[in-house]
């Protein structure tokens, strides 16, 4: 068998189908918008992402799964046009509100899903997809990012396949199967004739700044799905005796994947 025989897009889909990941719809992301807007834009993650971008010769940027504008808004001052695309209305509203607060008049939003028709999505010099590529059909998603970029593409995708630290899963007594991680993307890009650069960004996971146990349990449930009374009980008993470092868990790791057209 050679690597040419492997359909990595199909493997990714098959892998995703085996997970019991709680699929998030737009309304679930709507509920996260205010919290993300207050934190994501000033985060070390955003600094790390932006520090790896090259805007030379670029006038426009498309930010796919833009959320509250974490990446697009941070570089909008250096560009003529920034388009934020997301299927969550509340995320787009947060992006527009933040753009107004920053007195940016070159920011537009586009209410759209990865899965919908993209014929009117503008081509831009730079295309980014930050932490927003957990989609059913990653091959089509990568082809779309590639087609919409004139100069460069930047994306981040999960390393290791777990949104909840496996140590916390063990505490609760529920094992969540991994979601497909970045290695599929590299292989699909290779098949597309793209030879991407690879780097990594690590940052504190979302549990780190939980203010109390209820907040901690809510954050665990966001990525694992609702916890039953027994699971909450186990988590609470562990939380009471855990050190601050144990509560914080291991950092989130993202693969930073970029390529030139
Ligand atoms: C983890 S947030 C990332 C937001 C921002 N890019 C960042 O890095 O802070 C994921 C974003 O992708 C959006 N998203 C998830 N699935 C999507 C889909 N199928 N189509 C469009 N947007 C989607 C969500 O609404 C959310 O704003």
For residue 254 and ligand 1, the question of a CB distance below 6 A is answered with: no
Rounded distance between C-alpha atoms, residue 171 and residue 159, angstroms: 22
Count CA atoms closer than 13 A to 12's CA, side-chain side.
23
Q: In the prediction, which pLDDT does 73 show?
A: 97
90 within domain boundaries? yes
In this predicted structure, the answer to whether residue 34 has a pLDDT above a threshold of 80 is yes
Segment among 28-32, 67-71, 201-205, 206-210 with least mean pLDDT: 206-210
Ligand 1 centroid to residue 65 C-alpha, Å = 4
Q: CATH number, domain at 104?
A: 3.40.50.150
Name the token pair of 105: 């008049």
Among 131, 132, 124, 133, which residue's Cα sits nearest to residue 152?
124
How confident is the model over 39-67, as pLDDT tens digits? 878 899 999 999 999 999 999 999 999 99
CB 179 within 8 A of CB 166: no
241 within domain boundaries? no
The residue whose CB lies within 8 Å of the most ligand 1 atoms, and thus the one to mutate among 44, 70, 132, is 132
171 within domain boundaries? no
The residue whose CB lies within 8 Å of the most ligand 1 atoms, and thus the one to mutate among 65, 84, 111, is 65
Element containing residue 49 per DSSP (H, E): helix 44-51
Local confidence band at 207 (pLDDT 50, 70, 90 cut-offs): confident
Rounded distance between C-alpha atoms, residue 110 and residue 88, angstroms: 10
Element containing residue 244 per DSSP (H, E): helix 244-248
108 within domain boundaries? yes
Domain count, the chain: 1
Domain holding 38, by residue range, is: 3-163+176-208+250-260
Rounded distance between C-alpha atoms, residue 84 and residue 67, angstroms: 8
Rounded distance between C-alpha atoms, residue 49 and residue 70, angstroms: 10
Q: How far is CA 243 from CA 163, 208, 233, 246, in A?
A: 21, 12, 18, 5
- Computed over every residue of the chain, the mean pLDDT equals 94
How confident is the model over 73-107, as pLDDT tens digits? 999 999 999 999 999 999 999 999 999 999 999 99
Q: Which amino acid residue places its CA nearest to atom 26 of ligand 1?
A: 67
21 within domain boundaries? yes
Report the percent of the chain where pLDDT is more than 70: 99
Q: Is 198 helix (H, G, I), strand (E, B) or coil?
A: strand
225 within domain boundaries? no
| Residue spans of beta strands (DSSP E) within 178-227 | 197-203
CB 235 within 8 A of CB 171: yes
223 within domain boundaries? no
239 within domain boundaries? no
Rounded distance between C-alpha atoms, residue 51 and residue 74, angstroms: 11
Name the token pair of 245: 């470092």
Rounded distance between C-alpha atoms, residue 146 and residue 170, angstroms: 39
Local confidence band at 22 (pLDDT 50, 70, 90 cut-offs): low
**213-219 mean pLDDT:** 92
Name the token pair of 134: 């957990």
């Amino acid at each position: 068998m050679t690597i040419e025989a492997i359909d990595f897009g199909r493997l990714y889909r098959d892998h995703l189908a085996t997970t019991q990941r709680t699929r998030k719809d737009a309304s679930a992301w709507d509920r996260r918008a205010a919290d993300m807007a207050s934190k994501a834009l000033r985060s070390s993650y955003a600094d790390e992402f932006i520090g790896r971008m090259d805007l030379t010769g670029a006038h426009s940027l498309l930010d796919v799964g833009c959320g509250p504008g974490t990446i697009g808004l941070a570089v909008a001052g250096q560009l003529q046009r920034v388009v934020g695309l997301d299927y969550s209305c509340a995320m787009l509203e947060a992006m527009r509100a933040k753009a107004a607060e920053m007195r940016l008049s070159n920011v537009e939003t586009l209410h759209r899903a990865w899965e919908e028709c993209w014929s009117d999505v503008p081509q831009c010099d730079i295309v980014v997809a930050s932490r927003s590529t957990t989609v059913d059909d990653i091959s089509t998603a990568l082809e779309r990012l590639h087609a919409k970029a004139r100069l460069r593409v930047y994306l981040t995708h999960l390393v290791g396949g777990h949104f909840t630290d496996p140590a916390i899963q063990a505490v609760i007594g529920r094992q969540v199967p991994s979601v497909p991680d970045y290695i599929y993307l590299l292989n699909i890009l290779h098949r597309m004739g793209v030879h991407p650069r690879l780097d990594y960004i690590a940052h504190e996971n979302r549990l780190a700044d939980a203010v109390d146990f209820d907040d901690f349990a809510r954050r665990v449930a966001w990525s694992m799905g609702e916890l039953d009374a027994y699971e909450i009980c186990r988590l609470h008993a562990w939380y009471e005796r855990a050190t601050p470092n144990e509560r914080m868990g291991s950092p989130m790791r993202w693969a930073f994947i970029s390529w030139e057209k």
